[in-house]
Chains A and B, each alone.
Chain A
Amino acid sequence: MLRVRNLTKRFGGVAAMDDVTLDFPTGSLTAIIGPNGAGKSTFFNLISGALVPDSGRVLLDEADITGLSRAAIVRRGIGRAFQVASVFPTMSVAENLMAAVAAQRGQWDRLGSRFPPAGTRGRALEIAALLGLADKAEVEAANLSHGDQKLLDIALALALEPSVLLLDEPTAGMGPEERWLMIEKVQALWERQKLTLVFIEHDMDIVFRIAASIAVLCYGRVLAQGTPDEIRVDPAVIAAYLGTPEDELA
């Protein structure tokens, strides 16, 4: 269970995150939405250790992980994928994943043997298959299509065997059809791996169809958190953000 309590972060005089309190029950599928600049990516940065909050706490299964380093939080079980796919361009898909698996097994600093360590290749190909990348295992990451790079990014996060997966705009940069294919993959993954999944998304159709729970951020504050039905009729959310159902796609 991921719990965030009174999380605050200022840059200069601006509160990028202002007293945010949210709950993500184990195994939940939550979408974070909000207009640009609402603090969604900042939120991910604060949870994953890329930023240290000024005040507030982040609790993972009751353990306080506030202020831990990125690597330490990864070890605790939070994996992350990025808005712009963040992979290792000079390595193949398989190599990318083998490296991630090796890192997860605490083998990233092994000097005594050659890469890849024994057993990582099999696991890497398993993960690749989960995301539908098995047939592209030997392709260099830089040569993958944009969509495949996003998948590889998610695969890298999965290789860490996380209990919580943070996806920052998994469908960013994709056309309407590709978007649905991607989000269906994400949903299948969530069901199969029994993860706590939190994803940032701008496409309201997708959000309202897929998410079991939605949190709305605005100006660094939580506007509302609840089921899609609750959010749909929440007056504050409607006033601040949704407008009519037709104009989404921020």
Chain B
Amino acid sequence: MRAGSFSRDAAIGLAALLVLAVIPLAVHSPFFTDLIIRLSAMGLLATSLNLLVGATGLVSFGHGMFYGLGAYAFALLMQKTAMPLWEAALLSLVITSVVAAGVGAICIRLRTIYFAFVTLAMQMLLHSIVLSWVTLTGGDQGLRGGIPRRFIFGVDLADQRNLYWASAVVLILGLLAMRHITASPFGVSLRMVRDNETRAAFLGIEVWRAKLTVFVLAGSFAALGGIVASLFVSGAYPELVDWPLSGQAIFAIMLGGIGTFLGPLVGSAILLGLNDLVTRETEYYGLALGIIILLFALGFRRGVTDFVLRRLRPPRVLADVERR
């Protein structure tokens, strides 16, 4: 993960954005626009999860809770108040950050497997609250009524094409921001915490503070994905807070490769494609997906981008035969 410069990343992002912007003008495919919007949501969720897993070594099983929280907070603010879209989105991010800080403060001090499990339990708690608080959230029916006033900078996001462009921009900007985090001195400190927490502490790094900060940041980016999802489904549904989404995010980062920055995005794209394929071919989605996951976990084991990178890198010359 040798980071390039900010200008290089920005250039790549801009190029990708231009390509994405142009495609629907040339090819009319609602399937493609839907896919990109969904990829934006899922890609943000997965990449933010990898800020925890890949970059810091914090294995969270319940990261989806921030995605769902972002979606519900946004949809509720839009429905119940007269806020403009960008304000509701910003406030949703703030709300999620605060919750993430609280959850993180409790979970961060726990060791690996406890941390993983308690984040899961936190997600189930949120899910449970969403289902119980029917007057606020609509319970298991979800938030009906759609999202009113979907205007941002005068652009009406009720138009799928506009939502497509907005999602693409949000995705690219979100990725650039997360990329900047991993490439900053803070990002390197996260890597140090991941690889040798003891040594990191003995270099003067406040490990607790580093972990909490990245936990909150990751939660906010997940919430951003949730907001995109909320716009896509015109509301919010309990499925957005339920565990299978966290499971999908985990599978996406494993599939794409946790060792590279774009791995989770690649994995999300593959997973979305697989999901569509499976739902088209069979009604037994769980069975099919389960078998696919097993094939991956027992067979390939390595994410796509990790695998490719290993092939591309020249064989390493050891400085000495003696190796730890």
Contact = CB atoms under 8 A, between A and B. Distances in A.
Nearest to B210: A109
Contact of B205 (A71, A144, A148, A157): A71
B203 A87 contact: no
B290 to A, nearest CB: 33
B189 A109 contact: yes
Interface stretch (B97-105, B177-185, B240-248): B177-185
Q: What size tier do the contact residues of chain A reach?
A: 35 or more
Contacts, number: 125
A82 B199 CA distance: 9
B11 interface: no
B216 interface: no
Contacts of A114: 3, 5-6, 180, 183-184
Interface string B194-221: 0110110111111101100100000000
B324 interface: yes
A95 B290 CA distance: 41
Q: What size tier do the contact residues of chain B reach?
A: 35 or more
Interface string A57-99: 0000000000001110011000110100111111100010001
A87 B196 contact: yes
Contacts of A3: none
B203 A100 contact: yes
A143 interface: yes
A99 B188 contact: yes
13 contacts: A74-B202, A86-B198, A87-B199, A89-B324, A99-B203, A103-B204, A108-B186, A109-B213, A111-B186, A115-B3, A115-B187, A142-B324, A160-B204
Closest 10 CB pairs of A and B: A145-B320, A74-B204, A110-B185, A70-B201, A86-B199, A108-B189, A103-B203, A115-B188, A145-B322, A115-B185
Interface of B: 3, 5-6, 180-181, 183-189, 191-192, 195-196, 198-199, 201-207, 209-210, 213, 316, 318-320, 322-324
Given A113-B185, A114-B5, A148-B320, 9 more contacts: A69-B206, A103-B203, A108-B185, A109-B189, A109-B210, A110-B185, A143-B318, A143-B320, A160-B204
